[in-house]
Amino acid sequence: MRYGKYRFIAGFLAVPLALYIVFVVSPYAQAFYISMTDWRGFSGQQNFIGFGNYIELATDGRFWRAMGHNGLLLLVVPLVTIVFALFLAAVTTVAGRQGAVGRGGVRGSRFYQVVFFFPQVVPVVIAGVLFGFFFNPDAGLLNGLLRVLGLGWLTRPWLGDPALALPSVMAVLIWGAVGFYYVLFSSAMKSVPPDVFEAAVLDGAGRLRTFWSITLPMIWDSVQVSYIYLGIMVLDGFALLQVMLPVPGGGPDGSTAVVSQYLYESAFINGRFGYASAIGVALCLVTLLLAVAVLRLTRRQQTEY
């Protein structure tokens, strides 16, 4: 009978497992093999060179500079996005009216939810084009608004200045991501029983104390997963950067180049698909290490209710 049970389970798992191997595991294995060749991408000739591409990658200044830009994005974008999303979610979900902590958000919270989520429905390519015009130094809305307000001395070539190009891109990434995580955190906060907030109010806890000691611990799993997803997003960032700054080498003086752009350039401009695959494998490894590190460093005792 036990043998029949295992055969029954194996029959259900065989097809999904086969599809997973063919469409997920196999491409990864092929990419790793290609990364150990000097394949140019447009011929059937693939000379096996072992770890030659990885040795070159270890001493490639452009790769490490691009990785540094990804590191800056990884430090700033997830943190700022999560802080903004948590603030907006708390205000519109559990801030309470007339001092009633945990009993709904501020007045008009449904309208704010639509407004905050709107950037999420804008495709990345369209957002890149719009913000390319927004940051335009001559006809852009940002500099135009500064001039109207009498702050013309603050106008800058935002995407043309090596010191401002990457922060400008960070602002767009945050703008586009806050809405989704705001909705995610709002849903998590709504699942917290109101009795918990009522007990906190009876104990004299204010809004800030309630958020820090009750709301945040109870939605910590959502925050943890959000950081991982945001980290994956900024480790890529190819589409937005390629639209906003379609310059070989990445922005002014390479100031916005990220690893995904360098991978694209290596493969489709320089014709080094083997080397590009090595970059992709390295980026995949960094992503996995990020996920493991975040899960371990942010691990805490699960709050039950």
d(CA 37, CA 130): 40
For residue 49, the model assigns a pLDDT of 92
For residue 286, the model assigns a pLDDT of 92
Contact 172, 131 (CB under 8 A): yes
Domain limits, the chain: 58-297
Per-residue pLDDT tens over the stretch 186-222:
888 888 887 877 777 777 777 777 888 888 888 998 9
- Other CB atoms within 10 A of residue 171 CB: 17
- Other CB atoms within 10 A of residue 6 CB: 9
For residue 273, the model assigns a pLDDT of 93
Per-residue pLDDT tens over the stretch 115-157:
888 888 888 999 999 999 999 988 889 999 999 998 888 899 9
**Which of 47, 26, 27, 23 shows the shortest CA–CA distance to 37?**
47
- Other CB atoms within 10 A of residue 301 CB: 7
For residue 245, the model assigns a pLDDT of 87
For residue 104, the model assigns a pLDDT of 61
Domain 58-297 in CATH 1.10.3720.10? The answer is yes
d(CA 246, CA 252): 10
Residues of the chain with pLDDT under 50: 1
Total residues belonging to the chain:
305
